[in-house]
Amino acid sequence: MQITISYMAVLQQVIFIVLLAGVSWLVYRRANLIRRTILIGKNEDRTDEPGKRLATMLRVAFGQKKMFDRPLIGFLHFAVYIGFILINIEVLEIVLDGILGTHRIFAPTLGGFYLYLIGFFEILAFGVLTACVIFLIRRSGVKVERFQPERHREMNGWPQLDGKIILVFEIVLMLAILTMNAADSVLQEMGNPHYAQTGSFVISQFFKPLFTGWNENTLVIYERFAWWLHIAGIFAFAVYLTYSKHLHIVLAFPNTYYSRLSPKGKMNNMPEITSEVKVMLGLENQNTESVVPERFGAKDVMDLSWKNLMDAYSCTECGRCTEACPANITGKKLSPRKIMMDTRDRLEDVGRNMQANGGEFVPDNKALIGDYILEEEILACTTCNACVQECPVLINPLDIILQLRRYKVMDEAQAPGSWNMMFQNLDTNQAPWKFSPADRFNWAEGVK
């Protein structure tokens, strides 16, 4: 039966507008929840030196600078990243076509340039397709140590599957757009009036033999199927993104913009403790109005800063931090990647709690330390900053570890015996070692 193009266009408009509205609502609702859970963290000013922050964001998030520490992987990742960003410009045309019931709305306006523009997008799509196939083979066939659940328990189950799902997703989307363009070109050659004469495109022309012998109606059905598969896939990806580690595609930009500008080795002291030490040393007068904080360090996500929580949502789960961690390398339970994933898991639970209680968090007798992150993990950290150095989106797991450790030691007085001895020495001798303060610099006598 001859397909009525005008009827299909009207039906397409209605379905498309309803789908677009539904997806927009789901993404907005989820994004708003993520925003609210991030903002339950403590306030922290990260607005200084905007020029330097912008340069950092452009270099690290947009330019993917840290990914190129491993050139081949960096190049493939950059191909996927740039392809994803630029190919989505074409989605603008698809969205307008869907709303207005048109087909290739920009083709008449751009004329011959349109052929080159779509050709450029196809080259990017082929690059994304190639890189995703390589990454999928690498994840499934090549045993990359940092992705193996046998060695890293945080990669068991969903995290392992999530990384593969998105690669398959991208492969299907790229094949959909390339075969759609190929079917479109064949329909142009058949003289179908609905398909604007643009000519064959640079990559999809090689897919045209797949459609040899197809009749016009069947080609129209496939072209529409591929069109819907591509745009529905984009919509599904937009929703899925907000639940997946791939949220870093969006959050990498603000996360790198608001990253720490101070040297990585500099630890943020607690103002209350710093003030007490200065009073002890006679560097500051006792402040009668000093307020003892409700809690030293962090017990739960509410005690961390909003930037710590944004870090958790920005984690790519790439495992570079864990791969570089000396504690993890020596077999200890600490995995900086797991610290970030556990923090995000706790945030997700808090978010669901807030949704169920009208936007307010109702205590659930759980805490980040103890229920999600073990004391053994945070005590294994050497504070070497290797995890901070390695992260491609400037996440700081060490800051979370330090705050959790401060809570256990200062609020609950649960420190290993060797630590308590060191604390006592610091208190009495002003040094970690048990000797007289007058002998503190004797070690320098033999230094030339």
Buried b / exposed e over 119-144, threshold 16 CB at 10 Å, is bbbbebbbbbbbbbebbbeeeeeeee
Q: What is the pLDDT of residues 256-279, one digit of tens each?
A: 999 999 888 888 887 777 777 777
- Flag whether 104 is in a domain: yes
Residue 4 has a pLDDT of: 52
- Flag whether 207 is in a domain: yes
Whole-angstrom distance, CA of residue 233 vs CA of residue 37? 27
Residue 305 phi, psi dihedral angles, 5° rounding:
-85, 160
pLDDT at 32 over 50: yes
Answer yes or no: are the C-beta atoms of 328 and 313 closer than 8 Å: no
- Flag whether 226 is in a domain: yes
* Other CB atoms within 10 A of residue 293 CB: 13
- Flag whether 337 is in a domain: no
203 lies in which domain range? 70-247
Residue 277 has a pLDDT of: 73
Q: Which residue has the higher pLDDT, 79 or 388?
A: 388
Cα of first residue to Cα of last residue in the chain, in angstroms, is: 95
Answer yes or no: are the C-beta atoms of 414 and 447 closer than 8 Å: no
Residue 287 has a pLDDT of: 65
pLDDT at 443 over 80: no
Whole-angstrom distance, CA of residue 446 vs CA of residue 18? 79
pLDDT band at 38 (very low <50, low <70, confident <90, very high): very high
| Structural domain count, the chain | 1
Q: Which residue has the higher pLDDT, 381 or 7?
A: 381
Q: Which one, of 134, 133, 123, lies nearest residue 87 by Cα?
A: 123
Whole-angstrom distance, CA of residue 321 vs CA of residue 341? 12
- Flag whether 124 is in a domain: yes
* Other CB atoms within 10 A of residue 176 CB: 21
Whole-angstrom distance, CA of residue 368 vs CA of residue 356? 20
36's CB contacts (< 8 A; 6+ apart) are 351, 354, 359
- Flag whether 349 is in a domain: no
Q: What is the pLDDT of residues 199-257, one digit of tens each?
A: 888 999 999 999 888 998 899 889 889 988 988 888 998 899 899 888 988 999 999 99
Model pTM?
A: 0.85
Q: What is the pLDDT of residues 316-375, one digit of tens each?
A: 998 899 999 999 999 999 999 999 999 999 999 999 999 999 888 999 999 999 999 999
Residue 6 has a pLDDT of: 62
- Flag whether 368 is in a domain: no
Which region, left, alpha or beta, applies to residue 288 given φ > 0 means left and ψ of -120 to 50 means alpha?
Answer: alpha
Residue 63 has a pLDDT of: 87
Residue 2 has a pLDDT of: 42
Whole-angstrom distance, CA of residue 177 vs CA of residue 204? 9
Over residues 421-443, the mean pLDDT reads: 76
pLDDT at 1 over 50: no
pLDDT at 288 over 60: no
- Flag whether 201 is in a domain: yes
